[in-house]
Amino acid sequence: MDLEVRRNEPTIRSTTGKLAIDGQPQCVTLEPPPVLDPDGNGYVCIPAGTYMLTIRWSPKNNRQVPHVESVPGRTEIELHPGNYPKDTDGCCLVGKDYGSPLVPDYVSLSDVTFNALMVKLYAGSVLTNPTVPEQAQTWNVGTITYVDFQAP
């Protein structure tokens, strides 16, 4: 499975994007901005590039979530539910749609969108260690590529 996040032009508080699986649009994303926001949470977005994607246990979210593996200088980078920049510690949030012009740094219906995404990811993944407890299981999903905004 190949996932791709095509980023939009960032704001000072966030970076939005669109996530596709094997070229098919799935949902929108929200990450920290590409540079530190003095009023933000101290994180920047995931560097552009291609990474392995697994599903494994998240102590922070207390469930299985997709993990973006081998992000330089970072650990526990996840795709998970959340609506605002404050909900991410350098991770990628998923949602159904973006906020309004009055609320630009927001994604809607994140929990519903995340659950639907997980169904698709599990369906296309391979469980590598089925005999261990759920908190030790790892599912190989494929790759995820982050593509930065390109001005026309």
Mean pLDDT of 130-137: 96
* Confidence bin at 121 (pLDDT 50/70/90): very high
What is the model's pLDDT at position 81? 97
What is the model's pLDDT at position 36? 81
What is the model's pLDDT at position 28? 98
Residues listed for the chain? 152
Reference 45, options 17, 82, 3; nearest CA is: 17
Tokens of 58: 């998240």
What is the model's pLDDT at position 8? 95
pLDDT at 39 over 80: no
| Helix H or strand E segment including 54 | strand 49-58
Q: With H, G, I as helix, E, B as strand and everything else as coil, classify residue 20.
A: strand
DSSP state of 8: P
What is the model's pLDDT at position 105? 92
Backbone angles phi, psi at 125, to 5 degrees: -105, 165
**Residue 39 to residue 27: CA distance in whole angstroms:** 27
pLDDT at 40 over 90: no
Beta carbons of 55 and 122 less than 8 angstroms apart: yes
> What sign has the CA pseudo-torsion 89, 24, 140, 56?
positive
Please, what's the b/e burial string for 84-97 (b: 16 or more CB within 10 A of its CB; e: otherwise)? bbebbebbbbbbee
What is the model's pLDDT at position 126? 97
**Residue 42 to residue 20: CA distance in whole angstroms:** 27
User: Within 13 Å, how many C-alpha atoms sit on residue 140's CB side?
Assistant: 4
* Confidence bin at 151 (pLDDT 50/70/90): confident
Annotated domain spans of the chain? 2-147
Tell me: the pLDDT tens digits for 79-105? Answer: 999 999 999 989 999 999 998 878 889
Tokens of 123: 């369906």
